[in-house]
Amino acid sequence: MNPLMTTALAALALSAPAAAMATPSPTASRSVAVATDDLNARDPLAASVLSGRIDAAAAQVCGADRTSVTDVQRAARRSACYERAVENALAQLDPATADAVSRARTPRVPPP
């Protein structure tokens, strides 16, 4: 990553749906740190890895994780919460890295 990049991208602070939160408060937010210091995201393979980390973190703050059943993962990744989380994450990256990660993104919604 860029030397000015912090060691973790706490990019996913957002208003999450009450159903995905331990305490249902409409103004509460959740965040997940995304490690970036071990990657040079301008490298296509590393950008793909970072994209996957952002995807997993966005799904997590929106109510799914890798142990969730497929339907829960699919619903989280199709939600407005997920899109906001990814947008927030990309906005915290430097422009060149955000562009590389955006190019590396592939649809991560499991097929029906």
| pLDDT tens-digit profile, the chain (112 residues) | 443 343 345 444 443 443 444 444 555 678 899 998 899 877 999 999 999 999 999 999 998 988 889 899 889 999 999 999 999 999 999 999 999 999 888 665 555 5
CB proximity list for 44: less than 8 A, separation 6 or greater: 100, 103, 104
Residue 77: inside a domain: yes
Residue 55 lies in a domain: yes
The verdict on residue 21 lying in a domain is: yes
> What's the CA dihedral at 76, 15, 31, 90 to 10 degrees?
80
74 inside domain: yes
For the whole prediction, is pTM greater than 0.85? no
**Total count of domains within the chain:** 1
Domain hosting 15: range is 8-104
Does residue 19 lie in a domain region? yes
CA 58 to chain centre: 3
Residue 60 lies in a domain: yes
The answer to whether position 3 is within a domain reads no
